[in-house]
Amino acid sequence: MDSPLPRATWLERERTHQERADSLTAAHRDRAARGEKHPVWDFLFTYYSYKPAQLRRWHPGAGVELSDAPERRSWRWYSPGTTADGAVPDAAAFTREKSDLAGLIERMLRRTASRPGQFGCFGLHEWAMVYRADEHRHPVPLRLGQAGTDEVVESHDLRCTHFDAFRFFTPDAVPRNRTALTRDEQSLFEQPGCLHAGMDLYKWAVKLGPLVPGELLLDAFELARDIRLLDMQAAPYDLADWGVVPVPIETADGKAEYVRQQRGFAERGAHLRGALLDAWLGESRPTAVAAETVRA
């Protein structure tokens, strides 16, 4: 075990972390104060229902002791350290209290990391969510109109592997997906090429609480933020009024650009997935993000 962090050291890390978190959430907090909605960025605070204050809370990670930290001893999943008034995030305490959640997170991280990335979905999950629909999730127009949007869905093979995207498909789109996904089998299909599997690393990091170093939590948030932009650029919505330049996945060039960015996110996600396992359990597993053959 590493030496306990002196109080001055960990307080400085905490301060740096809080400044970075504040910078990452400043625009959202300003919009919220004005009562403004945003069709792209609100997702990071509504679907992932974590408040900016949760991002500000710094932890050292599992097994890293803080010296002279009596205030932390009463925090959830902290235990007394080896020094007077020392405190340390306790992975065993988390597992005892949240055994089902711990099992789910480890299963999702390891199984996703063990599979090759798939890069032939082209973000069509968002199109499937508005297929033949009279009402849409976002109050913005469709870039190709309803008929044009439906035609794109009908001319492609839906290959969604992420249940939490699939569950929002319209009834007419559900049978068009290559696989009928279920919650119980979610970990059997999750794969590292999926944009939402990458975004969900932020969710798992938050749920692990003090077992994840604050710096790693913010890295996961930044990945989710960057992926969210591509997710909406490739979506069927016309978001020009919000400054969003589309990645037109109905074209060959758009598909190529989508896959290029998707591969980059898969690489970043692979690194973070291993880092989460290492910070939490002290070990990571080799990641597999090699692509399947993609046809434009």
At 18-39, the pLDDT tens digits run 999 999 999 999 999 999 999 9
Residues with Cβ within 8 Å of 135's Cβ and at least 6 positions away in sequence, in order, are none
Q: In this structure, are residues 224 and 48 in contact, taking their beta carbons and an 8 Å threshold?
A: yes
Nearest to 61 by CA among 286, 285, 287, 278: 278
Q: What mean pLDDT is predicted for residues 107-127?
A: 96
The pLDDT value recorded for residue 136 is 76
What is the C-alpha to C-alpha distance for residues 174 and 107, in angstroms, rounded to an integer? 26
Averaged pLDDT for residues 143-148: 97
Q: For the segment 176-193, what is each residue's pLDDT rounded down to a tens digit?
A: 999 999 999 999 999 999
Q: What is the pTM of this model?
A: 0.94
Using DSSP's 3-state secondary structure scheme, residue 78 falls into strand
The whole-number average pLDDT for the span 39-63 is 95
Percent of the chain's residues with pLDDT above 90: 91
* Residue type present at position 47: Y
Return the structure tokens found at 3.
Answer: 């030496």
Percent over 70 (pLDDT), the chain: 95
Question: Stretch 255-281: mean pLDDT, rounded?
Answer: 97
Determine the average pLDDT of the residues in 250-264.
98
Whether the pLDDT of residue 291 is over 90: the answer is no
Distances (CA, A) of 273 to 90, 218, 234, 283: 20, 14, 24, 11
> For tokens 């992420």, what's the residue?
162
Per-residue pLDDT for 137 more than 80?
Answer: no
The number of beta carbons lying within 10 Å of the beta carbon of residue 8 is 9
Q: CA-to-CA distance for 80 and 88, rounded, in angstroms?
A: 6
Q: Where are the alpha helices (DSSP H) in 116-251?
A: 125-128, 145-154, 163-166, 186-189, 195-207, 214-233
CB 106 within 8 A of CB 113: no
**Position 55 pLDDT exceeds 80:** yes
Average pLDDT over residues 254-271: 98
Q: What mean pLDDT is reported for the chain?
A: 94
Q: Under 8 Å CB-to-CB from 33, ≥6 apart: which residues?
A: none
- Residue 216 · residue 279 · CB < 8 Å: yes
pLDDT digit string, tens, across residues 203-237: 999 999 999 999 999 999 999 999 999 999 999 99
